[in-house]
Amino acid sequence: MQKVEVQLGERSYSICIDNKFASLNAELTAARQVVVISNPTVAPLYLQQVMALFRLADVKHFLLPDGEAYKTLTSFEQVLSFLLEQKMSRDMLLVALGGGVIGDLTGFVAACYQRGVSFVQIPTTLLSQVDSSVGGKTAVNHPLGKNMIGAFKQPAQVIINTAVLRTLAPREFAAGMAEVIKYALIADEEFFNWLWQNQQHIQAQDPAVLAQMIRHCCQMKADIVSRDETEQGDRALLNLGHTFGHAIEAWLGYGNWLHGEAVAVGMVMAARLAVARGQLLPSQLEQIKQLLQAFALPVMPPPAMTIADFMPFMKTDKKVKNGTMRFILPTAFCRTAIVQDVSETELTEVFADGHH
């Protein structure tokens, strides 16, 4: 078992990485009221094992339909209604068993139900294991923008079981790799090279290699979150590719592309912008594209989507400050910064030549 500590004073917690569901803190296993939130894809596989972690005879569960299309205020309200019907008190424990959608939604419920209850993240997709389950960002989507309604709410613990990745659809595994590659592109060339060298082992889901990769991503995220919990500075770098990516997701309709697929294209678009600004070599852009393609990720926006389609979403992005669009862009290979001076004209020029 490997552990990563997220240092946030009294809100600190550990991320436990293992090849089974274990290592839940004793005070959590003793919780008096427990509700597991999951979906019909994950529940038949893992719900019984997770409910068995608790010493209670009576652990309740609530299933939401699977997919990004259900990360909505309606689902949020359904979960709250269930908790109220079950007469759950403030000392209850919520457990998120699923991917990023279940984790984000359960965390937002935990932040709001009776002004805040404890929750545990048990992420079952690669994307949620390396990214969304760590760091306490919770939200639901709105037709006008992704993750626009939410709260910062840190979990009490994160339990990562690498064995669950064996039941993950290949497309979902690939989507998770987009967030893994993102960590390398933000600030870690050594990790980029490691991913390149280990791509066969990763594709074969070698347990030791996966555990090492997931731990590295969690450690990077934990370090950044410890420094900047509510995203005033450094933490925004974790949004590399997300400004373009969120626009793709919203424009296509949530769930048509997976989040990781949209982020992969977003990172390529950010890299293209950096090439146009002379901060990245065309050969480095090619390396980035090749690594993404090695994991079966797209590197081109949807064929029908023009830069004009991106603009309305990018103007309502959470990184907009005082009316100025802010982008996370590479400043060199595997180095990034927040850039404020990207104009609409520049975006149009860089991306006017269509999709290549």
Taking only the tens place, the pLDDT of each residue in 227-251 is 999 998 899 999 999 999 999 999 9
Q: Is 70 exceeded by the pLDDT of residue 287? A: yes
| Joined tokens for residue 321 | 């400050």
Q: Is 50 exceeded by the pLDDT of residue 160? A: yes
pLDDT at 353: 65
Which residue is catalytic, options 68, 172, 229, 231?
A: 231
Contact 113/41 with Cβ under 8 angstroms?
Answer: no
Any catalytic annotation for residue 231? yes
pLDDT at 356: 47
Any catalytic annotation for residue 242? yes
Whole-number Å distance between alpha carbons of 158 and 143 = 30
Cβ burial, residue 141 (10 Å; 0-12/13-18/19+):
buried
Cβ burial, residue 143 (10 Å; 0-12/13-18/19+):
exposed
Which residue is catalytic, options 141, 147, 161, 239?
A: 239
Contact 314/327 with Cβ under 8 angstroms?
Answer: no
Report the topology of domain 2-167.
Rossmann fold (3.40.50)
Q: Is 50 exceeded by the pLDDT of residue 69? A: yes
Whole-number Å distance between alpha carbons of 145 and 143 = 6
Q: Is the pTM here over 0.85, yes or no?
A: yes
Pairing of strands 13-18, 2-6: antiparallel
Whole-number Å distance between alpha carbons of 59 and 53 = 10
Mean pLDDT of the chain: 94
| Average pLDDT of the residues in 64-73 | 96
| Average pLDDT of the residues in 163-177 | 96
Q: Is 90 exceeded by the pLDDT of residue 194? A: yes
Q: Is 70 exceeded by the pLDDT of residue 317? A: yes
Any catalytic annotation for residue 153? no
Whole-number Å distance between alpha carbons of 318 and 245 = 13
Which residue is catalytic, options 146, 153, 182, 242?
A: 242
Residue carrying structure tokens 């006017």 = 352
Any catalytic annotation for residue 356? no
Any catalytic annotation for residue 235? yes
Which residue is catalytic, options 71, 137, 153, 216?
A: 137
Whole-number Å distance between alpha carbons of 248 and 286 = 22
Which residue is catalytic, options 182, 216, 259, 326?
A: 259
Any catalytic annotation for residue 61? no
Any catalytic annotation for residue 259? yes
Residue 297 vs residue 58, higher pLDDT: 297
Cβ burial, residue 2 (10 Å; 0-12/13-18/19+):
middle
Domain locations along the chain: 2-167, 182-351
Pairing of strands 137-142, 145-152: antiparallel
Whole-number Å distance between alpha carbons of 292 and 22 = 33
Q: Is 60 exceeded by the pLDDT of residue 290? A: yes
| Beta carbons within 10 angstroms of residue 352's beta carbon | 10
Which residue is catalytic, options 146, 153, 182, 221?
A: 221
Confidence class for position 354, pLDDT limits 50, 70, 90: low
Taking only the tens place, the pLDDT of each residue in 92-119 is 999 999 999 999 999 999 999 999 999 9
| Joined tokens for residue 178 | 């987009």
Superfamily of structural domain 182-351: Dehydroquinate synthase-like - alpha domain (1.20.1090.10)
Confidence class for position 355, pLDDT limits 50, 70, 90: low
Any catalytic annotation for residue 221? yes
Alpha-helical (H) ranges within the chain are 26-29, 43-51, 73-85, 100-112, 126-127, 170-187, 189-197, 199-203, 207-227, 242-252, 259-276, 282-294, 307-315, 344-351
